[in-house]
Structure 1
Amino acid sequence: MSGETFEPSAGERPRLLLVEDDAAVRRSLQLLFRARGFDVRAYARSAALLADPSVRDACCFVADYSLDETDGIEVLVNLKNRGWSGPAVLFTACASNDLIERALASGFSQVFEKPFQGHALGDVVVRLTGERWAAAQS
């Protein structure tokens, strides 16, 4: 269902990690995910995300593929090497079968090609995290 929101128990907002080096896109996605009920930690650079000790508490990771200093796949691999295991979604302007295969093999649940409709991305994240959050709370 389009426009779904995430509603964890006891008013706690699940943390979502977002890395996007374009400020306008980052802000737009940050607002989208906040409206869906997430505590969004948005980063312009992957190094800042990886340096933040609170990332281990995140329920989901959303990333652009093309970043200034690296790519979203490498960031997810680094997160996993540090013990993080949540669902992840990648978006890209340069989708190819090879890129999609690499992203899925690295642990991304889904790949979106730009331009995409924000509500579709939001719906996928709510679905992916809703199942995980419900299991963690029981």
Structure 2
Amino acid sequence: MTRNPVQRLFDWKVRGIRWIEIIGVLLVAAMIFSVYVAKAAAARESAEIGRLEREIAETRQRVRLLRAEAARLEQPARLEALSRGVGLAPVEMDRRAEVVDLAELKPAPESVAALVEVAPVVTPSPEASGAASVEEGLR
């Protein structure tokens, strides 16, 4: 009676255990280990995704707050009150210059140097308000 070579492989035993069973157990152990490693990697990635989502939400909140602050600071009424507080006013139509008049409006180089040398340095006192110190600097 001749045996098939594949049948001999299935019947080959080591200490009463077939080789195919040993190979099967090793394959199952390898699969269990690989599933454990993949699950641990997925948990790390999930934690990283959660951290990034929290960071995105915090950044969005900060952007909303900064936009609200910019809108408050850019209010025309507030800017007008600040400019009037330091002595600025809107330019009147009769003070508007045309392109050809710009050369006449350009200050002479020596007058600019004289203005820079003569301008006093203003140091605001702690009790003075910001608008008052700016007004002193303009005088």
Please give the range of the TM-score, normalised by the shorter of the 2 chains: under 0.3
Q: Which has the higher strand share?
A: 1
**TM, length-normalised to structure 1:** 0.18
Question: Which structure's relative contact order is higher, taking Cα pairs within 8 Å and 6+ residues apart?
Answer: 1
**TM, length-normalised to structure 2:** 0.18
Structure showing greater Rg: 2
Q: Which has the higher helix share?
A: 2
